[in-house]
Structure 1
């Protein structure tokens, strides 16, 4: 299909992009890599009056380390996230999950910030950033605003970004010494995850000291499996102990029922995949 008519702007700087969004009002959309937005436009599920293309703003690309956090520009592509040495060394869970996104063509064009701002609960990276306690940094006419991942994802395809704000960077705590694993089930290669689980585990000797678990496609927004995280604190990393904790992974979730599976099926997958992901992250 052909998208509805829209105006187009291609700012050269972050400030210019923010001013353009502020002047345009709520009917403007930011175009990053376009891998999420363009299909929606073609299906006429969105009718923006203006597209603000931020593809030329180099300030929004790249990865750097600042003390105990990684800072990733919102326009950094999935491909660059996967291969960046800082991400691989200090936030390996993000690199591993990004490698499962769609196909190579999408990974070369799609961006981390675009994926997060799209706020699709079936997307791989929102749940990963939630599990990693990421912080989103947005710039608007009133200045910069930091938004914890737990507050960033509001509802289905809805983030807490304001219409006149631009997501500029994602900040991740450095998790050296943690194990990680991303586990997802999809019906066919390159399809959205029916359910996905992002797990990060810190061991203290022969015990699990702390676990962080993000769930993909288990509700209208990405979720943390808090009950399982609590049950794993101090547990031994055996299949039996992890399995008991994983039985609580779907508690409080409201997964959808669709052509890929029922809500009950997704709850079962969440329990099974959580057990697998935690055991792999714990190294057992």
Structure 2
């Protein structure tokens, strides 16, 4: 199908983009990588009056250090995320999760910030950002504000972004020396996760000192598996201890039943994949 008619603007700075969004009102849509938005437009499930393309805003791309944190521009492509040396050194869980997104074509066009702002509960990056205590930096006409990942995801395809605000960068604490793994189960290659688990651990000797675990598609928003984290800390990194901790994976979740899986099957997957992800991260 052909999208409904709309006006198009391609700002070159964040300020210009924010101004264009404010001028357009609630009928505007923001184009980042377009991998989710363009199919929606073609099916006329959305019919914005104005499309604001961020592709020419150079300041929204790239990864840099800022003290104890990494700053990831919202328009940084998945392809660049996977290959960035700073992310490999200090936040490898992000690179691992991003490498599982769709296929190479999508990873070349899709963006880190676009995926997070889309807030699909089956998307792989929300749980990763949540597990790593990321912060979302947003800009609007009222200025800049910072939203913790735990407050950013509100509901299905809904975030804490206010009308007229743009997600401009993501701040992630450095996890230098941590081990990580992202485990997902999908029905066919390149499909959305039925369940996914993002795990990062800090191990000294054979003992797990700290753990971060996030769950994909176990609720309407990404879920932090706090019970698993508590059960892992202080334990020997053995398969038995990890499997026992993974039994806590379904605490605080609200999995749905759909054409891919029922709630009970998702709960089973969450436990199994958590055990696999933590085991792989511990080596």
The two structures share one fold, judged by TM-score above 0.5: yes
What TM-score comes out, normalization by structure 1 length?
0.98
Q: Distance in 1 between matches of 2:223 and 2:2?
A: 35
- Report the TM-score when normalising by structure 2: 0.98
Q: Unaligned 5+ residue runs, structure 2?
A: none
Residues 146-165 of structure 1: pairs in structure 2 closer than 5 A: 146-165=146-165
Quote the Cα distance in structure 1 between the aligned partners of 2:43 and 2:159.
21
- Partner in structure 2 of residue 244 of structure 1: 244
Q: 1:257 and 1:227 mapped to 2: Cα distance?
A: 23
Q: Aligned ranges for residues 97-136 of structure 1 at < 5 Å?
A: 97-136=97-136
Q: How many residues align?
A: 283
Distance in 2 of aligned mates of 1:124 and 1:221 = 11
**1:54 maps to what in 2?**
54
In 1, Cα distance between equivalents of 2:152 and 2:41: 23
Map 1:130-209 → 2, pairs under 5 A: 130-209=130-209
Cα separation, 2, equivalents of 1:224 and 1:54: 31
Note the C-alpha offset of 1:3.
2.1
Q: Separation in 2 of the partners of 1:267 and 1:46?
A: 33
The alpha carbon displacement at 1:104 in A equals: 0.5
Displacement of 1:7 in angstroms is: 1.6
- Per-residue CA deviations over 1:76-104 (Å, capped at 9, x if unaligned) read 00000000111111111111111110001
Q: Which runs of structure 2 are paired with 1:46-85 in the superposition (5 Å)? A: 46-85=46-85
Structure 1 unaligned regions, length at least 5: none
After TM superposition, give the deviation of residue 44 of structure 1 in Å.
Answer: 2.3
Cα offset for 1:206? 2.1
Runs of 4+ in 1 over 4 A off after TM superposition: none
Q: Please state how far the C-alpha of 1:262 moved relative to its aligned partner.
A: 0.6
SS in 2 for 1:107: helix
Structure 1 residue 189: Cα displacement = 0.6
In the TM superposition, what is the alpha-carbon distance from 1:248 to its structure 2 partner? 1.1
1:24 alignment counterpart = 24
Q: Secondary structure at the match of 2:146?
A: strand
1:8 maps to 8
Once the two structures are TM-superposed, the CA of residue 227 in structure 1 deviates from its matched residue by 0.8
The 3-state SS of whatever aligns with 2:199 is strand
Contact 1:28–1:163 at 8 Å: present in 2 too? Answer: no
* Cα deviations by residue, 1:236-267 (Å, 9 ceiling, x for unpaired): 11111111110110122111211111111011
Q: Is the CA contact 1:76–1:111 (under 8 Å) kept in the aligned structure 2?
A: yes
Contact residue 14 and residue 57 of structure 1 kept, 8 A: yes
- Bigger shift: 18-27 or 76-85? 18-27
